[in-house]
A and B are shown apart, each in its own frame.
Chain A
C-alpha cells in the first residue's frame, strides 16, 4: 500500500514541477495527456490498486482523487495563465497608430447669440418668468403709441425705424410683446420675450437686425427695489458674483422711473479703457417701472398694479462675454467662427 501511496505523492510532486515549467499551451496539453490521459501516469499507478486489500482501496482511491484534482486545477490555472499571456502578446502586436486623430462626426455648435439667450432665459425661469413670443412686424401702435411714444414725439429719434410698405414697422425693440402679453392676460404677469429687433443703423457695434430679451413683471406691490434686486441677481449670475453693477437714471417713454444699468468694464476692471470709452462702465440694459400710460393702453388698473420692465441687448452681452469686437461676425456665420463657441 505504501508503495502506491508513495507513487501518488511522487507523481504529484513531479507533475506540479513539470506544469510549473511549461511555457506553451501545446506542451501543457501533452503533459496533461501524459499524467491524466487514458494511458497516463496516474492510470498506470492505479493499476496497482487491484492488488491491495479491500480495506485500503477506498483510502488510496480517495488519495488518487485528491492528486487528480490538484493536478487538474494546476493544469487549468496554468492554461488560463498561458492563454492570457498569448492574448496579451497578440494584442501587443497591434500596429494601429493611436496617436492619429480621432474620427467622428463633429457635433455642431450653438450660435453664441442662442447660447446667450438660452443662458439668460434659464436664469429668468429660475425667477419664475415664462417665455413668450411676439412678431417681428408690428403696427406703429404696438411698437410706439401703446408704449407711450406718440407720433411726432422726440423719443422716436431714439430708435431709427424700418417701415414696411404697408405702414407697419419692424419692431425696434421687444417691448411691443409687453402689449401683446398684457392684452391677452390680466395681472399677475411675469414674462420674458427673446427676439429679433431692427433699427436702421450699421457699424462695428450696430447691426440693422439684432437681439433683445424683454422682461415684464406686473403685480400688486411691485417696486423699483424689486427691479434692482432682480437685475442685480441676473447680472451677477451672468457675469460673476463679484461683478459690480450700477443703476443710472435714464429716460424711456414706457417706464417711469427709468434706469440704465451698467456693469464694471471687464477689460479694465473700471479703470477706463477703449472698450468702455474710458468710463470704466459698460451699459448693459435699460429698465424701469412700467409707465402708467402703458397700463392705460392695455386696460390695466394703473392705481392697483405696478410693474417693472427691462430690455437686454443680447448681441452686446454675447460680444462682451466671448470677446467679439465686431457685431457683423455674428451674422456672417463663418464656420470657423461658429466652431469656436
Chain B
C-alpha cells in the first residue's frame, strides 16, 4: 500500500528523516519497499487568476494573458486553448522549478515578454498527460503556495503489508504503528457530527449474522453534490485512486484513511435491504460495468429489485450514487474475511474493499468510519446526517474481549532472551495491549492476528529489536541419521559421469504434450497441471529424455557440437515419483581433438555406452547383466536393458534417429537412463579382499573363427560353463572381420586366458592340458573353428 507522508502527519508527528523512519518500519516488520519522492524539487508555484486575454500580435496560436496572484499582475504568453478570463490557474513564476527539472525564467516569445507559465496538470507532475491548462475550482484562494495547497510535493512510502497485519492497511493504521515506534501520541480523526432527525427509510434484515455480525446504515441528505476538493482528489491520486464524485471519493478516502470499506447507495433507488446469500446464477450489474453471475455461497445486499451489492466487494449500477444524487444510504459493515475471500476468488474480482475485509477489519471501528465519512460529507456538502441504524449480532465472538495468558518467563524461554518484565510491559502498553492478572487483553484492531503466547513474543521481540536477541549455536548432537541410499548413490554416480566428461544439467520437471508425442512416450496416467503458465510446461515428465533432447538441441543450435550432458532428477510414472539419472552424448569425446586419430573417438557409439554403463555400475559395486530391450525411443537393435540382481534398473542405447530428428539432431546420439530409486534398493557386492598370488601367471590365447551371427554372449556362456579352475580371468583382445581372409559370413575373435594358482607354480603341462580341454569343449558346443591356441 502507498502511504503519503503528508497524510500520515495528520495523525502522528514525524520529526525524524524519512529514511530513518523507513528503516525503523522495515526492522519492526513493515517492509518499506520503495520511498517515492514526488516532485522533490518543485517550488514557486502560486494560484493565479487570469484577468485579461489578448491575441499575441505575432503568433496565431498564442495569447498574451495578464494573471494576478493577488499582489502583482504578470504578463504571460500562453498557447493553451481552454483558458478564459476569470479562470483560476496554477502559475509558475520566474525562478520556479517544475518536476522535469525545467526552471522558469523571464523570456520573450515572438517579441512579447512572458513572465512565467500557466501550468497544466502534466507540467506539475500530477498526471502523465493532460490537455490544456489545469483549471482550478473557482473557490481556490488566489495567491496561495500551490505546491503546499495541492500537495504537489510529497514522499510516499510503499509498504508490503503482510497478511497478518490487516490493521496496517490504512493511513491511520500505519500512523498508529509509527506512533509506537517513535513513542509519540496518535491523533484521532475528526468525527464530529451534527445529527438530524432523518430516519432511514429502508428496513434492514440480516439473514446471515455469522458472516455479517454488524451492519450499519444511515441516511444522508444534501441539496446538490459539490465537486471533490482539490486536497482530497490529490490524496486519492497519490494513493493510486481516481476521483469519481464526492460521495464515492469520500468513501474511498475513509477506506484509505481508516481501513474500513464503506459503500453509498442512492437512497431514492433503494427499497428495504436484506443481507444474505445470493441465489445460484443470480446476476449483478456491477459498478465496474461487468455483469457477474453469483452463487449461493456469496453474500450480497439485496432490495426488492435485486442485488444491490456484493457484500464487501462491489456495489451495483441500479443503486449507484451519481453526481445527481441528493439522498444516500451510507453503509458501514463488518463482513466475514473468509466469506469475502471466497467470493473474490471465485469472481476473480479483487477490490480495495475486498482486500481489507479478507484480512479482517476492526469490528469496533465500523461506527467510527461511518462517522468519519458522515463528518466529511457534512463539512463538504453541507449535508444533513441521520442517526446510525445498526443490526448487530451481540453474541458474536468477534465482539468478545480477547485475552492471551501472559508469562514473561515463557516468552524469554521461547526467544532465548532475558528481557525484563518492565521492558515487555512497556512494549505491550504502547501496542494498547493491557495486562489483567497475567492475561494480555488484545485491542480490537489486533484480534485477527494475535492468537497465542508466541504472537506476544513476536510483538515484544520486533519492537525491542531482533538485534537484541543473542545469537547462540545450539548444542550439536551427532547426526541422527545417515544419508539415504538414494542420496549416497546420487553422490557417487554424479562424479563418475563427470569424469566421463558429462556436464550436469538441471531441467524443468514440467514438459509439454508435444514432447510426449515427439519422444513416443506413453500417454497413460500423465500427471497434468491444471493451471500451467504455458502448455510447454504442463505435464510432469514421465521421462528425462525430452529434457535432455531439448538441451542438446539448444546447444547444437549454438554451434556446440560435442554434447555430453546428464541430469539427476525426478520423473513420474502415474503418481509415483522416482529419481533417475539420464545421460546423453553426441559427437566427439575429446573437446577439441586436433590429432586425427582422436577425432573419431565418440561415446555415442553403442559399445562405448555399454562400457560407460559397465564401469560406472562396477565402480559402485554392481555387476550388471543385459537383457534385450524394445524401447520405442531407442534404435530397434542398439539398445539393452540393464539388470542388477534380476531387477531392471534402466536401459541404454542409441536414440532412434527419427526421434532425434524431431529435435533437429542428425548425429548419432547415445542415451543412458538409470532408475536410481530402484538401483538404491539393490545390494551392491560386499567388498572383500581376494588374495594376490605370489606365483607367476601364464597366458594362453585362443583364436576362434565364428559365424557373424554368433553373439559374443553365446561364446561367453560356454566359456563360463567350462572355465578351468586355474583361469583367473579372460578377455576378448581382438575382433576382426574380413571377407577376403575369413569369408563373407565369418568373424575372428581372439580371447586371452590367464592361468594362475594362489598356492603353487602351475606347470606348463597342467596349463596346456586345461587349455586344450577348454578349446575342445568350445569347438564341440559352438559352431566355431579353433584357428589357433
Please give the residue numbers on chain A whose beta carbons come within 8 Å of chain B beta carbons, in ascending order: 100-101, 103-111, 113-114, 125, 127-131, 133, 135-137, 152-155, 157-158, 162-165, 170, 188-190, 196, 198, 200, 202, 208-209, 217, 219, 221-226, 228-230, 232-233, 246-251, 253, 256-260, 277, 279, 289, 291-292, 306, 330-336, 338-339
Contact = CB atoms under 8 A, between A and B. Distances in A.
B535 interface: no
Nearest to B562: A335
A330 B507 CA distance: 9
B592 interface: yes
Interface stretch (B25-33, B62-70, B753-761, B779-787): B25-33
Interface string B576-615: 0100000000000111111100100000000000000000
Contacts of B413: 221, 223
Interface of B: 26-29, 31, 33, 162-165, 337-338, 341-342, 345, 358-359, 413-417, 452, 454-455, 457-458, 461-462, 466-467, 469-474, 476-484, 486-487, 494, 497-510, 527-533, 537, 540, 551, 554-555, 558, 560, 563-566, 570, 572, 575, 577, 589-595, 598
Nearest to B458: A257
Contact of B162 (A104, A133, A251, A338): A251
Contacts of A339: 503
Given A108-B564, A221-B413, A137 B455 contact: no
Given A113-B506, A163-B530, 19 more contacts: A103-B595, A110-B504, A131-B483, A136-B509, A164-B527, A164-B528, A190-B477, A202-B533, A225-B417, A225-B471, A233-B473, A251-B164, A256-B454, A258-B458, A259-B466, A330-B506, A333-B555, A334-B555, A335-B565
A257 B417 CA distance: 14
A109 B504 CA distance: 6
A335 B503 contact: yes
B532 A162 contact: yes
Chain A residues touching B, majority SS = mixed
A229 B27 contact: no
Given A223-B416, A292-B454, A103 B593 contact: yes
A247 B504 contact: no
Contacts of A198: 510
29 contacts: A105-B501, A108-B502, A108-B566, A109-B503, A125-B479, A127-B473, A130-B480, A136-B540, A163-B531, A164-B529, A165-B528, A217-B474, A221-B413, A222-B474, A224-B457, A224-B461, A224-B469, A225-B469, A226-B472, A228-B469, A246-B467, A248-B31, A249-B28, A249-B466, A257-B462, A291-B454, A306-B414, A338-B503, A338-B504
Contact of A200 (B358, B415, B484, B533): B533
B481 A130 contact: yes
Contacts of B533: 200, 202, 208
Contacts of B501: 105-108
A111 B471 contact: no
A229 B554 contact: no
Contacts of A256: 452, 454-455, 457-458
Given A108-B502, A333-B554, A200 B531 contact: yes
B332 to A, nearest CB: 22
Nearest to B589: A105
Contact of A251 (B29, B479, B481): B29
Contact of A333 (B342, B462, B506): B506
A248 B454 CA distance: 16
Nearest to B450: A256
Contacts of A188: 477, 480
A253 B537 CA distance: 29
Contacts of B33: 277
B342 to A, nearest CB: 5
A333 B595 contact: no
Contacts of A246: 27, 466-467
Given A208-B510, A257-B454, A331-B508, A106 B591 contact: yes
A108 B497 CA distance: 7
A210 B498 CA distance: 23
Contacts of B593: 103
B67 to A, nearest CB: 41
List the 3 shortest-distance A-B pairs measured between CB atoms, nearest first. Answer: A225-B416, A223-B416, A257-B458
